[in-house]
Amino acid sequence: MPMSSDDTPLLNLDNARAEEQKALMKQIQADGVCPFCAEHFAKYHPKPVLKETEYWFFTENMAPYADTKHHFIFVYKPAHISMPSDMSPGAAADLFALVDWAISEYHIPGGAFFMRFGDTRYNGSSVQHLHTHLLMGDADNENHQPVRVKLG
Amino acid sequence: MRTDVVGDILRLPSQFPGIRELPHAAVYLLGCRTFDQFCSTLRALGDPRGFCPFCVTELTRRNRRPLAKATGWMLLENEYPHRNTSRMLLIVPERHVTTTSDLNPQDWTAIGYLFARAGVPSGGWMFRFGDPRMNVGTIPHLHINLVEPIPGKEYRPPFAKNTVEHKADYDRLNAHIAELGRRGGAGWLFSADGIRETEPSL
């Protein structure tokens, strides 16, 4: 299994949600790369990049949580990191300018933003490379189910 | 204003009217698991300047000390941690802001500093924004939740609930409201006894 420099796995299939996602992750594991690193992102991420800044790709999650009306991810571009404390100066401000843009662009009246960090064996993430989520449930759908995110 | 908000809550219908029909204050209160949390939150909603748990007046009154500080920001213990977590911390601005669009680059530097000071090796951080009917929010004052999970234990914070869960939360809210009524309503809620008996202790 491909590992990062600190011996934590680049991908964690145990935390994948959809069969399509797992199949893609197995292929990526065989290729031995990180799918979120900038040089590989376009090849492996099946959704188009909706907006790009110096520090982030903004795109849809390929396996959105069930019953979300919107589920976007922001993927860190400059390097392969797993901790927000390793971000370049300016990346955080850039991220939240992009978040504000996305909230306005997609008319998101309320939602949640979260980021997992560290070892995927402990945080519920399927990809170790730093990325964040912006999501909104579908409260207007009478039959929608709860949206609960795995953290741990 | 105090009595307006509290009065609105005390007059809520007994049957769940639907999440869209509830005032924002009631939506914030849906997430209160205990009576103490309900009372603290209702005081904060009724009188944010006096009782917002993250604003200086309430922090000073309760002698609640931050674990760390950075320019205009604090690292606090979460007073209502979930049992499936090892640690739950909060990164909170000293000023009463409710949206990230009010933040500036210096704020992000302070947040990064406090994140590093917290020393959580693996986990997640998250915040809710906007209309609480869409995100299960509990406090308007912006706060970033920093969570260290327990290895092997799953923690699943809710970011949206369905009607069944909302109804269950609403029943619990009605129980809190009934208890408040028995103790004396708004007058008791803001009295010295009411505050002392229901403020959280760490």
What is the arithmetic mean of pLDDT over B141-162?
89
Q: What is the pLDDT of residue A80?
A: 95
Q: Which of A145, A6, A115, A109 is nearest to B132 (CA)?
A: A109
pLDDT given at position B8: 92
Mean pLDDT of B121-147: 90
Distance from CA of B163 to the nearest CA of A (A): 7
Whether A150 sits inside 8 A of B154 (CB atoms) is yes
Contacts of residue A138 in chain B, CB cutoff 8 Å? 160
The pLDDT of residue B202 is above 60? no
- What pLDDT sits at residue B47? 92
> What pLDDT sits at residue A126?
85
Instruction: Check: CB of residue A74 under 8 Å from CB of residue A115.
Output: no
Q: Go through A51-73 and write b for each residue having 16 or more CB atoms within 10 A of its CB, e for each that does not.
A: eeeebbbbbbbbbbbebbbbbbb
pLDDT of residue B3: 67
**Residue B136 has what pLDDT?**
83
The H-or-E segment that residue B60 falls in is helix B56-61
High-pLDDT (> 90) share of chain B, %: 62
**How far B190 CA sits from the closest chain A CA (Å)?**
30
Angle at B56 between CA B50 and CA B59, to 5 degrees: 85
- DSSP, collapsed to helix, strand or coil, labels residue A119 as coil
Q: What is the pLDDT of residues B34-79, one digit of tens each?
A: 999 999 999 999 998 899 989 988 888 888 899 999 999 999 999 8
Q: Is the pTM of this model over 0.80?
A: yes
Give the per-residue pLDDT at B200. Answer: 74
Note which residues in 60-119 of chain B have CB less than 8 A from chain A. Answer: 84-85, 100-101, 103-105, 108-109, 111-112, 115-116
ipTM of the complex: 0.87
Note whether A151 contacts B100, CB cutoff 8 Å: no
The pLDDT of residue A152 is above 80: no
Contact flag B108-A113 (C-beta cutoff 8 Å): no
Query: In the prediction, which pLDDT does A7 show?
Result: 66
- What pLDDT digit, counting tens, does each position of A61-83 carry? 998 998 899 999 999 999 999 99
What count of CB pairs under 8 Å joins A to B? Answer: 150
CA torsion angle B159 B23 A104 B115 (round to 10): -50
Residue of A nearest to B121 (CA): A118
**Residue B180 — very low, low, confident or very high, per pLDDT cuts 50/70/90?**
very high
Find the range with the poorest average confidence among A93-102, B99-108, B176-185.
Answer: B99-108
CA-based nearest distance B194→chain A, Å: 33
Q: Which two tokens stand for residue B195?
A: 């505050």
Out of A89, A110, A119, the one facing B135 most closely (by C-beta) is A110
